[in-house]
Amino acid sequence: MSENNDAHINTMENAIHIFEDADSWSTVMLLYNSALKKINIKLEILNDEFQHAHQYNPIEHVKTRLKSAESIVRKLKRRGYESTTENMVKYVNDIAGVRVICSFTSDIYRIADMLASQSDIHVLFIKDYIKNPKESGYKSYHMIVTVPIYLSNGAVETKVEIQIRTVAMDFWATLEHKINYKFFDNVPEHIKRDLRSCAEMVSDLDAKMMDLNEQVRSL
């Protein structure tokens, strides 16, 4: 049975041609949206199971989003690619995005390990901006994964970017995004310095809060 299933697993590039009688844009967006739903359900189940087993929820909340057509086109142009459906599937990894917000840094790696251990999740690559922050001070744990989306003629491996971060990291990243948007990525140096200083405070806060939580749980 497994060999038969494997024979019907397609890449997204193949799916575009399989559904050539349909609008290829609508096809891939259907796949990405379905992948978001699947990852979201997996996270809900993991959170419920953790609450059942340990009386503790590692996930504060989850946000999902599909990248807009305009944003996809801009990203392709910045990278020197034509704006085609084939190129967006091949070169843009964050069309389907899931952001997982946790209370503590330790939860980030716990959730990442739980997701990576699932047999139908294939991890393509990881960027650990917690251990290796960006120059701006940005911290988050990024995973690019694929999950099979089962359609009437077989499964299609569909890419999803998963970002896992603490509440404090998310607060900082949201402000940084607003600042970059306002200044079109040409942020004044004094604001960059203040952002980096805030990033250090966020790191200290996360460390102290995690230590305090561990003290409380050990009592």
Active-site positions read: 161
Cβ atoms 27, 19 nearer than 8 A? yes
* One-letter amino acid of 81: Y
Angle between helices 167-182 and 189-218 (to 10 degrees): 170
Place of tokens 């980096």: 196
Nearest one of 158, 101, 161 to 125, comparing CA atoms: 161
Whole-angstrom Cα distance, residue 44 to residue 219? 28
138 secondary structure, DSSP code: -
DSSP-derived secondary structure for 13-81? HHHHHHTTTS-HHHHHHHHHHHHHHHHHHHHHHHHHHHHHHHS--SEEEEEEEEPPHHHHHHHHHHTT-
* Residues 179/191, Cβ–Cβ less than 8 Å: yes
Residue indicated by tokens 């199971």? 49
Give the span between the Cα atoms of 46 and 114, in whole angstroms: 8
